[in-house]
Amino acid sequence: MLTAAYEGSAPPNGLVLVPTPIGNLGDITFRAIATLRAADLILCEDTRTTARLLAAHDVHAKVAPLHDHNEDARIPDLLDQLRQGKRIALVSDAGTPLVSDPGFRLVRAALEAGLNVAALPGPNAALTALTLSGLPPHPFLFLGFPPPRGAARRAAFASLRAAERAGLSATLIWYEAPHRAGETLADLLAMFGDRPAVLARELTKHFEQTVRLPLSDLAAKYAETAPRGEVCLLLGPAPQDADDALDLDATLRAALAGASLKQAVADVTAATGLPRKQVYARALALAAEAP
Ligand code: SAM
């Protein structure tokens, strides 16, 4: 039931981005429910997941899937419907649409066509984890999911570490699949050195847990046993003396484990800022030692 204070405020027109709970079904706003009830069409990732949410809130609007594979193809028809004055709501399976979820291309196309786009505020795992983490809340940098493959992931971390060496100082936030958390934490440690880190798990749910530890301890904790459920990983800003904290051999060993010698040298040179010649010589020595 909507409160008297809310009644009378009409849901936005056009395309409306509607956040949904990230675990706790109570985390949906009055305005989100009113917007979904008023929608002519609700776009969602998985119609079965969204059907459960809609049934719980007595929403009977038409539902259609929008995901990475059909988004481009659906845009012309959706823009036509918006031009005809239809109200279209976009939800994802959980949290805020577009944040590591589909919808960006549709929003861009609607804006370019001069159509009305509105976004409701609501649940989001990255911001919930950030505010709970005990790490400096700003500046922060949200990076979505790291690349799933080791070599690409280490290259991405090396670029970020190079940005830190050039002056970036921000709390870093990633989404990650639980079965990859252990290897990602090991790569973070190799590329960034030890610093405060947080793994936020199952936020807003029954088994919610926020583990705040030095990165080395966090990586050790999840080296063998994957965390259960959904996780966010956070890293505190670069410390002033971060260069000293990086162990060249450990960084190189981690890089060599999943990439060619050439790629590993490029990543570690970028991450550490050390002369390429020095990194290359050390990489050759370590590669020769390897069984
Ligand atoms: N759009 C969503 C949002 O606004 O948070 C994120 C969608 S993304 C596909 C899913 C990822 O978000 C998960 O793999 C996990 O990293 C993170 N996530 C979602 N729900 C979470 C939760 N309850 N606790 C911790 N992390 C969560």
What is the CA(137)–ligand 1 centre distance, in A? 18
Question: Is there an atom of ligand 1 within 6 Å of 130 CB?
Answer: no
pLDDT for 239: 84
Atom of ligand 1 nearest to the CA of 19: 4
What is the CA(23)–ligand 1 centre distance, in A? 9
What is the CA(125)–ligand 1 centre distance, in A? 5
Identify whether residues 113 and 181 lie together within a single domain: no
> How confident is the model over 64-92, as pLDDT tens digits?
999 999 999 999 999 999 999 999 999 99
Residue closest by Cα to atom 19 of ligand 1: 125
Question: Is there an atom of ligand 1 within 6 Å of 63 CB?
Answer: no
Identify whether residues 89 and 33 lie together within a single domain: yes
> How confident is the model over 35-62, as pLDDT tens digits?
999 999 999 999 999 999 999 999 999 9
Asked whether residue 4 is assigned to any structural domain, the reply reads no
Identify whether residues 52 and 134 lie together within a single domain: no
What CATH number should be reported for the domain holding residue 97?
A: 3.40.1010.10
Atom of ligand 1 nearest to the CA of 145: 16
Question: Is there an atom of ligand 1 within 6 Å of 210 CB?
Answer: no
Identify whether residues 198 and 246 lie together within a single domain: yes
> How confident is the model over 186-220, as pLDDT tens digits?
999 999 999 999 999 999 999 999 999 999 999 99
Q: What is the pTM of this model?
A: 0.90
**Residue 126, pLDDT above cutoff 90:** yes
Res. 118 pLDDT band, cuts 50 70 90? very high
pLDDT for 282: 87
Asked whether residue 5 is assigned to any structural domain, the reply reads no
Identify whether residues 283 and 150 lie together within a single domain: yes
Asked whether residue 3 is assigned to any structural domain, the reply reads no
Identify whether residues 276 and 242 lie together within a single domain: yes
Identify whether residues 274 and 135 lie together within a single domain: yes
**Residue 243, pLDDT above cutoff 60:** no
pLDDT for 78: 98
Asked whether residue 254 is assigned to any structural domain, the reply reads yes
Domain carrying residue 159: 127-289
Pick the residue with more confidence: 275 or 40? 40
Asked whether residue 80 is assigned to any structural domain, the reply reads yes
Give me the number of domains the chain comprises: 2
Atom of ligand 1 nearest to the CA of 126: 5
Asked whether residue 151 is assigned to any structural domain, the reply reads yes
Res. 164 pLDDT band, cuts 50 70 90? very high
What is the CA(74)–ligand 1 centre distance, in A? 25
Identify whether residues 184 and 76 lie together within a single domain: no
Top mutation candidate among 28, 96, 100 for ligand 1, by most atoms within 8 Å of CB:
100
Asked whether residue 1 is assigned to any structural domain, the reply reads no
Lowest mean pLDDT among 4-13, 125-134, 171-180: 4-13
The predicted model gives 157-186 an average pLDDT of: 97
pLDDT for 2: 54
What CATH number should be reported for the domain holding residue 200?
A: 3.30.950.10
The predicted model gives 213-240 an average pLDDT of: 96
> How confident is the model over 146-161, as pLDDT tens digits?
999 999 999 999 999 9
> How confident is the model over 88-111, as pLDDT tens digits?
999 999 999 999 999 999 999 999
What is the CA(239)–ligand 1 centre distance, in A? 28
Average pLDDT over all residues of the chain: 92
Identify whether residues 157 and 173 lie together within a single domain: yes
What is the CA(6)–ligand 1 centre distance, in A? 29
* One-character DSSP codes across the chain: ---TTTTT-PPPPSEEE--B-SS-TT---HHHHHHHHH-SEEEES-HHHHHHHHHHTT---EEEE--TTTHHHHHHHHHHHHHTT--EEE--SSBSTTSSSS-HHHHHHHHHTT--EEE-----HHHHHHHHH-S--SSEEE--SPPSSHHHHHHHHHHHHHHHHTT---EEEEEE-GGGHHHHHHHHHHHH-S-EEEEEESTTSTT-EEEEEEHHHHHHHTSSSPPPS-EEEEEPPPPTTHHHH--HHHHHHHHHHHS-HHHHHHHHHHHH---HHHHHHHHHHHHHH--
Asked whether residue 165 is assigned to any structural domain, the reply reads yes
